[in-house]
Chain A
Amino acid sequence: EAGVAQSPRYKIIEKRQSVAFWCNPISGHATLYWYQQILGQGPKLLIQFQNNGVVDDSQLPKDRFSAERLKGVDSTLKIQPAKLEDSAVYLCASSLGSGAKNIQYFGAGTRLSVL
């Protein structure tokens, strides 16, 4: 089966610019996650969707980050305006459902560099 697709793979922008990332989860997966992975750290959950509803966005910096999953399939994550500290790999993952019994499948990620 096809895996989690993310684009672009790499993005370089200047601070204060805007950027958007796209994720297409595995077909049939109801739960979608966005993680931020800063160099040398483990992934940190930014937001979790169950179908098109937000389950957890407690660690999403809502003053500059936004995410949507309008039709319960694809998702976009946007940063506006970007800061230097947003430089990281943004990972999308999906699972059939939520909780420990549901394996999360990860995309290859989008590497963002903010100059």
Chain B
Amino acid sequence: GDSVTQMEGPVTLSEEAFLTINCTYTATGYPSLFWYVQYPGEGLQLLLKATKADDKGSNKGFEATYRKETTSFHLEKGSVQVSDSAVYFCALIHRGNQFYFGTGTSLTVIP
């Protein structure tokens, strides 16, 4: 069945470091892919999405490119800030209406 696998955390980076959080998926056909972010004490918020192969989603300095050949949707940011500390979830939706979420990756950015 459909599933998402993302790198385990926690990830700790210094401010202004480069961030990569890996995400790969399993699905037949062409799912839509998402990154959600969950700040402490808050609900999940959509960070970015891509709905077809080679699409690049971007928001708040974060980017992810839908790679069909490697079934990946890795999240990147060139220079992280303390305010980026949160849990990041990769997710897909395919065919039906059900979202499949990864297990989440906790990011802590230290000054």
Q: In the complex, A43 Cα to B91 Cα: how many Å?
A: 10
Q: In the complex, A56 Cα to B100 Cα: how many Å?
A: 14
Given A42-B91, A42-B104, A99-B93, are A4 and B43 neighbors across the interface (CB < 8 Å)? yes
Pair A45/B93 contact, Cβ less than 8 Å: no
Pair A107/B101 contact, Cβ less than 8 Å: no
Q: Identify which of B12-20, B44-52, B65-73 touches chain A.
A: B44-52
B interface secondary structure, majority: strand
Q: In the complex, A47 Cα to B102 Cα: how many Å?
A: 18
Pair A55/B43 contact, Cβ less than 8 Å: no
Pair A48/B97 contact, Cβ less than 8 Å: yes
Q: In the complex, A105 Cα to B99 Cα: how many Å?
A: 13
List of B residues within 8 angstroms of A44 by Cβ: 101
List of B residues within 8 angstroms of A107 by Cβ: 43
Pair A106/B43 contact, Cβ less than 8 Å: yes
Q: In the complex, A55 Cα to B93 Cα: how many Å?
A: 15
List of A residues within 8 angstroms of B102 by Cβ: 42
A76 CB to closest chain B CB (Å) equals 18
List of A residues within 8 angstroms of B96 by Cβ: 56
Given A42-B104, A100-B32, A100-B51, are A108 and B42 neighbors across the interface (CB < 8 Å)? yes
Candidates A56, A91, A99, A100; contact of B43 at CB < 8 Å: A91
A interface secondary structure, majority: loop
Q: How many residues of A contact B (CB 8 A)?
A: 25
Pair A43/B97 contact, Cβ less than 8 Å: no
Pair A42/B42 contact, Cβ less than 8 Å: no
Q: In the complex, A3 Cα to B46 Cα: how many Å?
A: 13
A87-112: CB near B (< 8 Å → 1, else 0) gives 00001010000111101111111000
Q: In the complex, A100 Cα to B91 Cα: how many Å?
A: 11
B69-111: CB near A (< 8 Å → 1, else 0) gives 0000000000000000000010101001111111110000000
List residues of B whose CB falls within 8 A of some A CB: 4, 31-32, 36, 41-46, 49, 51, 89, 91, 93, 96-104
Question: Could you write out 8 A-B pairs with CB less than 8 Å apart?
Answer: A41-B103, A42-B101, A56-B96, A91-B43, A100-B49, A100-B93, A104-B99, A106-B43
